Structure 1
């Protein structure tokens, strides 16, 4: 066999064997928006099993990316209000109650066959304002706190009919 044929055969074998080896990350894209106190979730999946996942956070207006969590596969770790679980080809980071301090850009460093970096931004906003109820609307209408004192009620019940009688007769005459 000529040497060039052997070289061509080795190239085609190496290309065919490596076709499925590359990682193709599919992570939560763009911006995730939640209200403060609501759960938030971000995920990354790749075509080969993870060996390690690291996540850092760059808060609004910050230049440095602060480590949030690192987890070798398989397993889970917690910190900063987050729980990161890595199993096979999936990594999921979840918080039960999003906080303002968790807002910002997350950089995922995914280690499988290669090392890939992906970015997701988390926005944490104010919860919607609840309609306020006037103070008079929160009390029981039959509550004794709203009833006039008994002495005044009796006086009013006596004076009103007398006043009506006087006015019906043409008012007081002097």
Structure 2
């Protein structure tokens, strides 16, 4: 008759308990970047400013922005820029802490396209923001010039971004609890027989 001594399971249970504690603390850890960026498509009148932003919970290590325009070769606007202010050919990038902002003061047709943001904080993230430039109508020329950009919805973005990390944490906790339960069940069965 095989028995499962209680002494050998205590270190195993302690190990799983410590692992469970680490996993549960990591699942609720605030070290996730949780990026919130300008929504996917924005339209701006020609000549008006355009502002795109990406914010994360931690400080940026670096930010890279590439532009893919229809029929043109991809071009890198800013590559691995750390904290600070940078400008190049009509684009201005400001990176401060966990906030990055791309500003185009006078939008023209060559600014149109898909902007691929490569964000690097504690994790790496990729975001696409499409910028469309439209011709101002006569009414727009008479009235004050406004920026037509959708603002990011922090509640929607944070809920969507938190789910993958939380889901992984929950799956790990369930697996660890399952393994602990199986070990206890096997030891219990062997002790009783």
Which range, TM-score by smaller chain? 0.5 to 0.7
> Are the structure 2 counterparts of residues 65 and 11 from structure 1 closer, same or farther at C-alpha, using a change threshold of 3 Å?
farther
Q: How does 1:154-173 map to 2 (within 5 A)?
A: none
Structure with bigger helix share is 2
* TM value normalised by structure 1: 0.68
Name 2:150's counterpart in structure 1.
none
Distance 1:115 1:78 in 2: 23
Listed one character per residue, the Cα deviations across residues 110-158 of structure 1 (whole Å, up to 9, x for unaligned) are 000110001111011112237xxxxxxxxxxxxxxxxxxxxxxxxxxxx
Name 2:30's counterpart in structure 1.
20
Name 2:124's counterpart in structure 1.
115
Distance 2:99 2:81 in 1: 12
Listed one character per residue, the Cα deviations across residues 6-48 of structure 1 (whole Å, up to 9, x for unaligned) are 2321332244046212111100012111111111100000111
**Runs of 5+ consecutive residues of structure 2 not aligned to the other structure:** 1-9, 140-193
Name 2:144's counterpart in structure 1.
none
- Aligned Cα root-mean-square deviation (Å): 1.8
1:94 and 2:98 equivalent? Answer: no
- Using the TM superposition, give the Cα deviation of residue 2 of structure 1 relative to its aligned residue in structure 2, in angstroms: 1.7
SS in 2 for 1:10: helix
- Using the TM superposition, give the Cα deviation of residue 95 of structure 1 relative to its aligned residue in structure 2, in angstroms: 1.1
Aligned match for 1:44, one of 54, 59, 68? 54
SS in 2 for 1:47: coil
Using CA pairs below 8 Å that are at least 6 residues apart, which structure has the higher relative contact order?
Answer: 2
Farther off after superposition, 99-108 or 71-80? 71-80
Q: How does 1:109-148 map to 2 (within 5 A)?
A: 109-129=118-138
**Runs of 5+ consecutive residues of structure 1 not aligned to the other structure:** 131-174
Matched residues, number: 129
SS in 2 for 1:113: coil
SS in 2 for 1:76: strand
- Computing the radius of gyration from Cα coordinates, the structure with the larger value is 1
Name 2:147's counterpart in structure 1.
none
* TM value normalised by structure 2: 0.61
